[in-house]
Chain A
Amino acid sequence: MNELFDVAIIGAGVVGCAVARRLTLNGAKVVVLEKASDVLDGASKGNSAILHTGFDAPPGSLEQACVAAGYKEYLSVAADLELPILKSGAFVLAWDQEQLSQLPELIAKAHKNGVGDVALVDREDILKREPGLSNTLVGGFEVPGEYLIDPWASAHAYLLQAMANGAILRRDTEVLEGKFSNGHWTLETSSGPIAADLVINCAGLYGDIVDERCVGETCFTVTPRKGQFVVFDKAASDLVASIILPVPTKKTKGVVICRTIFGNLLVGPTAEDQESRTDASTTREALQALQARGVEMVPGLDTCEVTAAYAGLRPATEFPDYQIRSLTDQNYVCVGGIRSTGLSGALGIAQHVVALLGDQKFTGVPIADPALPDIDRLSDYHRRDWQDAGNGGIVCHCELVTRREIENVMNGPMPPSSLQGLKRRTRVCMGRCQGFYCTAELATLTEGHFKVPMGVEHGEH
């Protein structure tokens, strides 16, 4: 090692990736340390993929400020970073009188948060615009600015842009201990020591543990909150165009129904507090309940095929707001408790971190004309590689993933080390057949690339 970095970022979730991008573009020499063998292995692995406006965040909260800023920056960088956006808009719907009575307050809150286009819509007008919804709904309002995005490509793009401009990614590198002395940090990791002037803890579900390891104390405790989802096949996405959000109640957060940018329809999440920071398992009971709730809200789902089920873990803490603090005398920032809006807030959080750092000096100067990463758009609502010549033919038939897309990723600057990682980068095996057709071909294409190969050739051990 010996190399001294300006900044070491602990954790390559969506937040760590966004912070790495911002600081790199500001001239810092950045290293990103990720304990897993691939990026996005924690909370950022599975979410609803909604770009929130922050309309329902507590006014005046840090979360509200970061989501609003993050939302704005996302819209301004998306084109350059090739990030697809599905401008679907959302409805917040009331299904009973109690929920209906809460709508005016929620609208007032949205306006207070600067989301001025939030407005009540007549029940009949909602049903006219969304004829797939059950007519048991009693009312609602619209949030035109809520959009759907690619949750993985967003984070990948941030990190790839950082790397294209000099940042280093170290995977399989768990931070075990940190020492700050003489103005420098030395981080002991599972793959050797790392030296840096500044450390930023973006460890998500492990934020409190990394705090303890580095500065010996923490001011929050992570209590993971699991959210399970059921995904329906593409035909279901014809049933609702908008994001259908519930009225949050004290008892339950309620279930969202929305399309995905990949052309499917998802129903979820649940909200289940648990101790485990790794257990993202699904349960038959919850999945069937979600399916049933989906059919209640959108009766046409009754005849639609399920394609997948997954769960994500929110890094919730005992506090409602984000837990971001800077220990200036130790050159340390903790970005913790980014619970349920981190995808939307990440770019805003990165801006906030820069503000906290004040006049911190980096080796380089802000990059005037930063390099852009080269990634394929995987959106079903934008032009895809399979529509173009030279794509090498289709390997995954359900998601229409081409050989060229797979090769680009395998030979790119951040190749996946597992099938999971390849799925997030290309969507192979994510469709209705879940690998019935493409498994064998993928096993050949990825031979020698994955830690756990998809198949072992006969005779090998």
Chain B
Amino acid sequence: MVSTDQNQRKDVDVAIVGGGPSGLALAAELKRCGVGRVVVLEREISAGGVPRHCGHYPFGVREYGRLLKGPEYAARNVDEAVKYGVEIRTGTTVTQLHAGGRLSLTTAKGLETLDAKRVVLCMGVRESTRAQRFIGGDRAQGVISTGALQSLVYLKGMRPFRRPVIFGSELVSFSAIETCRHLGMRPAAMVEELDRIVTHKIIQPYLAVRGVPLFAGVQNPKIIGSKTVEALEFIDAAGVTQHIETDGIIVSGRFRPEAALLRRSPVEVDLGSGGPAIDQFGQCSDSAYYSAGNILRPAETSGWCWREGVVTAKRIADDLSSNGKPETGVARLVVTSPEIQFALPQRLTRSDRSGGMDKMQIGLHEPVNGILTATVDDRPVWTSPLNARPVRRIQRPLHDILAANDGRDVKLSIGPRR
């Protein structure tokens, strides 16, 4: 006899995929809200997520009122979760998401299935690779991401090279300089394809302080080296071919959600953000699934992800304790301007539930200076001026858009200032 989804026996109340700041904070909060069995599934040997290998400050200031290094912060998040009764299963990789909250897992013992009333996707982000950025040249050893560099340096005390070139100019690219210095590596240059650094200009003088020359506006980067990296070649902004001798390349930033699991799952993916499409409660297209943290968008700080975990936990606890859903349909928030990379939430649920997001989040492909307009059937329901750049935190109130939601899609576009 096949039972229906609702009656099926579940192994746990909530299973959280990913034990980074968002997943751990969410798990602890669920327990504080009185939810029964809460399990965090983490594929690494220890839980903690990315901060586990960020051996620098500042972490935890708002969460714990203390200035912590990444690993201390990660440990603190783990301790809190355990303290409130969360089960943390490390060395446990989720390999498939099935409809209704069923997960396939693998551990050192082989395959397993886990049924949860709700699953929360908290798998975080990683950086774009060399191939994803179409960096040509030889396939030499010594091309790594900032994340890999951090785990080598801070978890293993190992140095992969001495004088690397940093490719990219986001905040994480600058933190790579510090990670290098930690073990006496001296970056030979920072190289950026855009015509200026991606992160805030105010940080740029730091390069001079550290003696790292910047090449912005470069074209056709090429890695040279028969076995290991020997040089990076590119055409600089003045059109001159540069050949920088180096023994490693740090390909940094351009975060992308760790969302490959979603492509063959019942959970809809938003191609703009690269993560799951969620509604204002953090709920996915399969209502057994929620999501929080950086998998939703590339990329926010740990503190942001932690808080996102906490508020999402409250919504899930609420959902679990209410019977049935008073929902009356889902509309979409559709991005129609090419400058906009994504807008969160992608789904607008008409519901009497309270406690949803009060702000939407927007990410840009290109710098924008114009008017952001939300329309329903070409009728503007909300506007707001927007003067911003890519890789910046952009938020706008969601209230008017939710209020205008009559089941038809809401379109978000950018027009000129009048």
Residues of chain A touching chain B, judged by Cβ–Cβ distance below 8 Å, are: 230-231, 233-235, 238, 278-288, 303, 305-310, 386-394, 397-398, 400, 403, 418-420, 432-437, 439-440, 443-444, 452, 454-458
Contacts and interface: CB of A to CB of B under 8 A. Distances in A.
B252 to A, nearest CB: 11
A228 B95 CA distance: 31
B260 A287 contact: no
A458 B183 contact: yes
A452 B227 contact: yes
B159 A434 contact: no
Interface in B132-174: 132, 134-139, 141, 144-145, 147-148, 151-152, 155-160
B220 interface: yes
B160 A398 contact: no
Nearest to A386: B106
Q: DSSP majority for the B interface?
A: mixed
B263 to A, nearest CB: 4
A62 B52 CA distance: 59
A455 B156 contact: yes
A387 B96 CA distance: 13
A394 B106 contact: yes
Contacts of A458: 157-159, 183-184
Contact of B108 (A286, A391, A398, A443): A391
B111 interface: yes
Given A397-B93, A434-B145, A440-B148, A281 B222 contact: yes
Given A282-B136, A394-B106, A435 B159 contact: no
Contacts of B151: 439-440
Nearest to B159: A456
A444 B156 contact: yes
A109 B138 CA distance: 39
Nearest to A455: B158
Interface string B197-227: 0000000000000000000000011100011
A191 to B, nearest CB: 18
Interface stretch (B29-37, B69-77, B123-131, B297-305): B123-131
A307 B136 contact: no
A120 to B, nearest CB: 34
Contacts of A437: 44, 126, 147-148
24 contacts: A282-B136, A284-B135, A308-B129, A308-B131, A309-B136, A387-B111, A390-B108, A392-B108, A394-B91, A400-B93, A433-B129, A433-B145, A434-B130, A436-B129, A436-B145, A436-B147, A436-B148, A437-B44, A437-B148, A443-B156, A452-B228, A455-B152, A457-B159, A458-B159
A230 B184 CA distance: 36
B138 A435 contact: no
B341 to A, nearest CB: 14
Contacts of B220: 284-285
Nearest to A309: B131
A418 B43 CA distance: 26
A234 B260 contact: yes
A436 B254 CA distance: 13
A389 B226 CA distance: 39
B159 A420 contact: no
B53 A440 contact: yes
Interface residues of B, number: 52
A234 B152 CA distance: 27
A231 to B, nearest CB: 7
B64 to A, nearest CB: 26
Contacts of B228: 452
Contact of A435 (B95, B108, B148): B148
B139 A432 contact: no
B106 A400 contact: yes
B324 interface: no
Given A281-B138, A284-B134, A435-B148, A440 B158 contact: yes
A284 B158 CA distance: 31
Q: Top 4 A-B pairs ranked by shortest CB distance?
A: A455-B158, A235-B263, A440-B151, A439-B148
B227 A418 contact: yes
B110 interface: yes
B264 interface: yes
Interface string B91-112: 1010100000000001111110
B45 interface: yes
B403 interface: no
Given A281-B139, A288-B134, A440-B152, 8 more contacts: A235-B264, A309-B131, A388-B110, A391-B108, A397-B93, A420-B139, A436-B147, A439-B160
Interface of B: 43-45, 53, 91, 93, 95, 106-111, 126-127, 129-132, 134-139, 141, 144-145, 147-148, 151-152, 155-160, 183-184, 220-222, 226-228, 256, 258, 260, 263-264, 271
B45 to A, nearest CB: 7
Name the residue among B129, B145, B157 with the largest chain A CB count within 10 angstroms. B129
A457 B160 CA distance: 9
Nearest to A291: B134
Contacts of A309: 130-131, 134, 136
A457 B152 CA distance: 9
Nearest to B90: A393
B321 to A, nearest CB: 34
A456 B139 contact: no
Contacts of A235: 260, 263-264
A298 to B, nearest CB: 15
A391 B136 contact: no
Contact of B152 (A280, A306, A308, A439): A439
Given A387-B106, A394-B43, A434-B131, A440 B141 contact: no
Contacts of A434: 129-131, 145
A279 B106 CA distance: 40
Contact of B45 (A306, A393, A398): A393
A303 B145 contact: no
Contacts of B227: 418, 452
Name the residue among B137, B159, B226 with the largest chain A CB count within 10 angstroms. B159
Nearest to B269: A303
Contacts of B258: 433
Contacts of A418: 141, 227
A393 B108 contact: yes
Nearest to B182: A458
Contacts of A397: 43, 93
Contact of A455 (B43, B91, B110, B160): B160
Contacts of A403: 108
Name the residue among B130, B139, B264 with the largest chain A CB count within 10 angstroms. B139
A141 to B, nearest CB: 31
A393 B109 CA distance: 8
Nearest to A397: B43
A231 B79 CA distance: 41
A416 B158 CA distance: 21
Nearest to A404: B108
Contacts of A288: 134
A234 B260 CA distance: 8
A282 B137 CA distance: 5
Contacts of A230: 131
Contacts of B109: 389-390
Contacts of A392: 108
Nearest to B162: A456
Contacts of A310: 139
A403 B91 CA distance: 11
B157 A443 contact: no
Contact of B91 (A238, A282, A393, A435): A393
